[in-house]
Amino acid sequence: MNVDQFVDNCDVFEYKEKVTFTYKEVQVLFDYLSKMVNSNGPGFSVYHHVLFIDNYNMLFQAMKYVDSEIHKRFNDNTANKFNEYNAKREILIQKFIDRDEQGDPIYKDGKAVITDNLVEFNNEVQKLDIEYKPVLEQIGNKQQEFQKFLIENTVSLEKLLMFKDVEMYNELFTPTIFSIYLNKA
């Protein structure tokens, strides 16, 4: 029995046809479903796994399309220059980071701790910022353009598997995922 046959013979699910998502919604749902497809735990039922897997398979193609559209529009030299800037900034961090008695770098909450050489670090970063100023400005503009692009553009799916009863959406669904699904209901 395939998923369509399972859904046809089950009173828990229904397919919504011709469902439209923003590119951002596709990314959010795809990331979520990618994590959930192989998850187990309390509160998971066969129905949840069917929902996750079936929608993941449908969203996979949409995500490939969204990725191709992003690369067509935003794959340029500015991104390469920004990566170069970040690499040089990381070298400065490693040069000026505080170190413990063993010589290992010190991090707090995942961030580099720079106190002893803070003035020197800030001077070097300021020079780097001046050198890459046009790139940094372009990236700021591109980031806004990119977010707008994700929200304004849409893709349609042939169908989306939904629970008929809102009670089936439980604590497994983050508020964002929950709202995306219910908006499509």
| DSSP codes joined into one string, 155-177 | EEEEEEEEESSGGGS-TTS-HHH
Q: Which two tokens stand for residue 173?
A: 């669904």
Distance, CA of 44 to CA of 107 (rounded, Å): 37
Q: Are both 114 and 140 inside the same structural domain? A: yes
| pLDDT above 90 for 95 | yes
Q: Are both 61 and 127 inside the same structural domain? A: no
When pLDDT is cut at 50, 70 and 90, the band that residue 125 belongs to is: very high
* pLDDT confidence of residue 75: 67
Give the domain extent around 12. 3-73+154-184
Specify the number of domains making up the chain.
Answer: 2
SS3 37: coil
Q: What value does the mean pLDDT take over residues 121-143?
A: 88
Q: Are both 128 and 86 inside the same structural domain? A: yes
Q: Which two tokens stand for residue 4?
A: 């369509």
Distance, CA of 113 to CA of 126 (rounded, Å): 18
* pLDDT confidence of residue 42: 65
Q: Are both 112 and 124 inside the same structural domain? A: yes
Q: Are both 69 and 83 inside the same structural domain? A: no
Q: Are both 7 and 67 inside the same structural domain? A: yes
- Cα distances (angstroms) measured from residue 64 to each of 71, 165, 177, 180: 11, 30, 20, 20
Q: Are both 137 and 170 inside the same structural domain? A: no
Q: Are both 112 and 62 inside the same structural domain? A: no
Q: Are both 44 and 110 inside the same structural domain? A: no
Residues facing 15 on adjacent strands: 161
Q: Are both 63 and 116 inside the same structural domain? A: no
Q: Are both 69 and 93 inside the same structural domain? A: no
Q: Are both 35 and 59 inside the same structural domain? A: yes
Tens digit of pLDDT for each residue in 49-70? 788 888 888 899 999 998 888 8
